[in-house]
Structure 1
Amino acid sequence: MLGFSSDAGDSAHAPRTHRSRRSLLRTSAGLGAALLAGGTLTGCSGRTSGTVRVRMWSWLTGMDRYVAAFNSSQRDVRVDLSVIAAGTSGGYAQQTNAIRAHNAPDILHVEYQALPQIATTGGLRDLSADVDDLADGFLPAAWQSVRPGGKTWAVPMDFCPMAFFYRKDLFDRAGIGVPRTWEEFRRAASAVRTADRDARITTFPLNDGAFFAGMACQAGDPWWDIAGNAWRVGIDGAGTMRVAEYWQDMVSSGLAARDATGTQSWISAMHHGRLWGMLGATWGVGMLKKSLPAHQGRWAVAPLPTWGDDPSTGVWGGSAFGVSAESEVPEAALTFLRWLSTDPAVPRIGSAFTFPSPAFLANRKVARTAYEDGYFTGDPVFDVLDESATRVPGWTWGPTSLSTFATIADALGPVSTGATTIPRALHRVHTSTVAAMRARGLAVTEGSRT
């Protein structure tokens, strides 16, 4: 079996009757805290003085601002936000425990890579009948990401295609062109070392499974998909092995560093010109501005290099929000989620403190006009990232994605000492993932998708 609860949206704990769900959602869709992690969240969903109160848990930066704007725009629904630890830092465990204890909030924060894992608990409502009218308005890859098993389990908010951030001033000074393919990227990496023996074109973080998954996604070889009533697993497929072999050569030859991204040593290396680029995603815009404020006018953004003529790119991050299967106010919860994902006020609010990257196509146009960027040089950031967002291939995350990411980080650790290689490590990750899924009682097959 796949592990998805086919009747999660009609749980015995859910209300048996609802008043004009569609009319309420569409009427309300256009309407213009914090708490300690690991503690017990309290609060009651329901109607008070004519206002429906909705409990929400999230760690998204700025969610308090979005909630405040929504609450002030109308009186029918009030969202009560509780800020929890980020997903892999305890947030997902907290949400899963609440689902099991029948005390989940009305709205749960589920990043795309974690959605199947949360959905297999049976704790999410099937939203297919409620939001599928919005399907054509979203980036296709984002919409597919909230539909594991063919049902819609969450509403996308943002989406993070990958890109290459690089020091344009250093590339220009050394006469190095922007690499458009991975073959050109390797030649550029060699040219960087020729220009400065202490410099590297980028780092390939061996400790980040989500990063490696994004790189494999570009290769068009999904690690999971659904075949009939079983999960088909292929973490060591041909596309992933091509990625693994390429980066094994880059790391072992010294053309790429292998340190973690975002650490103080990484910031220092970027600041002093020992790293000339970063393989990141849309969140890299804000990350660079915050980490290297004095570098304004030095950095540019380019599409992720491609495998030959295939224009595909990878994805690394993005959030969606689901409704608890046991929520007593699902209509009100969806009123807020439709607003959060589709109302043009949201990217305008977000542009004040982050780089907005909406999954909703119309809001990407709003974000482009609302966000003021004076940090980057070269091609306009939105031009690059908008194009990249349309080039993410279909990808299905698996029901053990988060634990697989942790397994990758452990397996790739010895690569730095030469005790193993990236390809060998990925074979072990594949075997481990299949075993873990079968241990959970999930039906698993292995083999080619063709």
Structure 2
Amino acid sequence: MKTSRIWTLGASAALLAATLATPALSQETIRIIGHRSPPNEYYTGAMQKALPEGRVSVELMPIDKEMELASITMSSKSDAIDVLYLTDSSLKRFAANGWLEPLDDLWAKYKEEYKLDDFPPAIMEAVSYDGHIYSMPVLTNTELFFYRKDLFDEAGIAAPKTMDDYQNAAAKLDSGRMSGTIMSLKPVDAALNETHWYLNAVGDGWFDENWRPIFNQEAGVKAITRMKEMSEFAPRGFTSHANDESTINLQQGLAAMGLQWFTRAASMDDPQKSRVVGKIDWVAPPGGGARVANDGFAISAFSSGDKEEMFRMLAEASSVDSMIKGAEFSMPPRLSVLQNEELSEKYRWYPAARAALEDGKPFPALPDFNDVGDIVTRHVLRAVTGEVEVKAALDQAAKETEELLASRGYYKN
């Protein structure tokens, strides 16, 4: 442990020194860092095209390296980075630390020119912190409700709109050969996503306005009780299932429906992987409130460059036309693009994605939410598997959550 710690500190110091020692490109050059992926390659390329050749320098790298570089650079208040890629969870942390430039004034100034009201409320919530906008959304993922339309039609069941509809349909289609629903409760991320949906669709969410837990109150207990009931129709081993396992269960006809990410929709129609090609359909998750995840590009608060020019560069790269082209690589967060007829024909799950974006919810804007999620999902699993009564499990989760947040200065008293 001691050796590892020394190495980490040494590597971080070396990385900071290398960053600060990077030769100045030119006073006019905008330096962008980001996570290497096909969508980011496309959008950073669009940023380079938005300004004259040579004005934009792009460095893409693995996400852990980017986060390390960004954290070291920002914490030193260096102006070595101008624009950076951030996930919605990392954005909250960076914004809370005062490392990002608020974009509210520029957003209002260019709202009409760049059609910035085309982003739905759930997306704007994901790129905001403490009432301020900090990022230009470019990459979005949302959870959809996958269901076997052929089996629903045969059984005379309509696509579910409410959690009662969902439970009734799962009970009707559950059999020895096929589970009524997938359920992804592998700690932490998969279980956190499923819990988030239930707490929003059935309960009243996670916290009150002062970050005090409310998930252990009556509505939250009802939500996790419903999850426990639904687990009766889930595949064996659901507490160790995440996205891959649930995707396979749907593809192989081993489950009739359930919550899964937009990015898994195309694989349902892949004849090399799926036995249910053309049989799956999609709607917005019953009851609403399923997770919306959004990544984007933010401007460093410490950049000495022209931040208005940077904002316009970001807006050009995320324009309607740009996102129509970028739909090949990722789900576009603009409603008008999701409504595009050609794209809807090419990607038949797009109409459901649009609906899911409009009533979905990002994780709470809490910089320490991942740590809270680790606590809550541990106790939710104990409740769902019957190890502990639901109310007792949630009370203990709330107690530990309050202790954690109090230790990190969230409460005045």
Question: Is the TM-score greater than 0.5?
Answer: yes
Match of 1:165 among 139, 143, 146: 146
Give the deviation of 1:297 after TM superposition. Answer: 0.9
Match of 2:195 among 212, 236, 259: 212
Q: Which residue of 1 aligns with 2:401?
A: 433
> 2:37 aligned with 1:54, yes or no?
no
Query: Within 5 Å, which residues of 2 pair with 1:46-445?
Result: 48=26, 52-58=29-35, 61-75=38-52, 77-85=55-63, 92=67, 95-102=70-77, 105-133=81-109, 134=111, 136-194=117-175, 196-207=176-187, 208=190, 209-219=192-202, 221-224=204-207, 226=209, 230-251=210-231, 253-255=232-234, 258=238, 259-263=240-244, 265-286=245-266, 288=268, 292-293=273-274, 295-306=276-287, 312-329=288-305, 330-341=307-318, 343-354=319-330, 356-358=331-333, 360-366=334-340, 368-370=341-343, 372-373=345-346, 380-392=348-360, 396-415=364-383, 418-420=386-388, 423-443=391-411
After superposition, the Cα gap between the structure-2 partners of 1:216 and 1:417, relative to the gap in structure 1 and judged at 3 Å, is closer
Kept in 2: contact 1:248–1:421 (CA 8 A): no
- Once residues 92 and 406 of structure 1 are traced to their aligned partners in structure 2, the CA distance between those partners, rounded to angstroms, is 21
Give the deviation of 1:318 after TM superposition. Answer: 1.7
- Once residues 98 and 432 of structure 1 are traced to their aligned partners in structure 2, the CA distance between those partners, rounded to angstroms, is 33
Give the deviation of 1:183 after TM superposition. Answer: 1.2
After superposition, the Cα gap between the structure-2 partners of 1:276 and 1:146, relative to the gap in structure 1 and judged at 3 Å, is same
- Once residues 410 and 220 of structure 1 are traced to their aligned partners in structure 2, the CA distance between those partners, rounded to angstroms, is 18
Which stretch has the larger CA shift, 135-144 or 102-111? Answer: 102-111
Q: Secondary structure at the match of 1:123?
A: coil
Give the deviation of 1:63 after TM superposition. Answer: 0.7
Matching residue's letter, 1:200: G
- Once residues 278 and 61 of structure 2 are traced to their aligned partners in structure 1, the CA distance between those partners, rounded to angstroms, is 35
After superposition, the Cα gap between the structure-2 partners of 1:439 and 1:234, relative to the gap in structure 1 and judged at 3 Å, is same
Q: TM-score, with normalisation over the residues of structure 1? A: 0.73
Give the deviation of 1:254 after TM superposition. Answer: 4.3
**More helix, by proportion:** 2
- Structure 1 vs Structure 2: percent identity of aligned residues? 17
Q: Secondary structure at the match of 2:174?
A: helix
- Once residues 45 and 337 of structure 1 are traced to their aligned partners in structure 2, the CA distance between those partners, rounded to angstroms, is 24
Q: Secondary structure at the match of 1:243?
A: helix
- Once residues 254 and 180 of structure 1 are traced to their aligned partners in structure 2, the CA distance between those partners, rounded to angstroms, is 18
Kept in 2: contact 1:162–1:280 (CA 8 A): yes
Q: Secondary structure at the match of 1:319?
A: strand
How many residue pairs align between the two structures? 385
Kept in 1: contact 2:83–2:297 (CA 8 A): yes
Give the deviation of 1:216 after TM superposition. Answer: 2.3
After superposition, the Cα gap between the structure-2 partners of 1:212 and 1:91, relative to the gap in structure 1 and judged at 3 Å, is farther
Root-mean-square deviation (CA, aligned residues, Å) is 3.5
Kept in 2: contact 1:66–1:349 (CA 8 A): no
- Once residues 102 and 317 of structure 1 are traced to their aligned partners in structure 2, the CA distance between those partners, rounded to angstroms, is 28
- Once residues 142 and 223 of structure 1 are traced to their aligned partners in structure 2, the CA distance between those partners, rounded to angstroms, is 19
Kept in 2: contact 1:245–1:422 (CA 8 A): yes
After superposition, the Cα gap between the structure-2 partners of 1:440 and 1:84, relative to the gap in structure 1 and judged at 3 Å, is same
Kindly provide the CA deviation profile for residues 248-307 of structure 1, in whole angstroms up to 9, marking residues without a partner as x: 1222x34565242323x444433332122230243332454569355431211022122x
Matching residue's letter, 1:112: D
Q: Secondary structure at the match of 2:58?
A: strand
Match of 1:40 among 15, 26, 41: 15
Kindly provide the CA deviation profile for residues 310-343 of structure 1, in whole angstroms up to 9, marking residues without a partner as x: xx442331223322221222344323322233x1
Q: Secondary structure at the match of 2:353?
A: helix
After superposition, the Cα gap between the structure-2 partners of 1:108 and 1:424, relative to the gap in structure 1 and judged at 3 Å, is farther
Kept in 2: contact 1:235–1:426 (CA 8 A): yes
Kindly provide the CA deviation profile for residues 130-157 of structure 1, in whole angstroms up to 9, marking residues without a partner as x: 2234363421222233333222222223
- Once residues 198 and 413 of structure 1 are traced to their aligned partners in structure 2, the CA distance between those partners, rounded to angstroms, is 23
Give the deviation of 1:393 after TM superposition. Answer: 6.2
**Unaligned runs of at least 5 residues, structure 1:** 1-36, 307-311, 375-379, 446-450
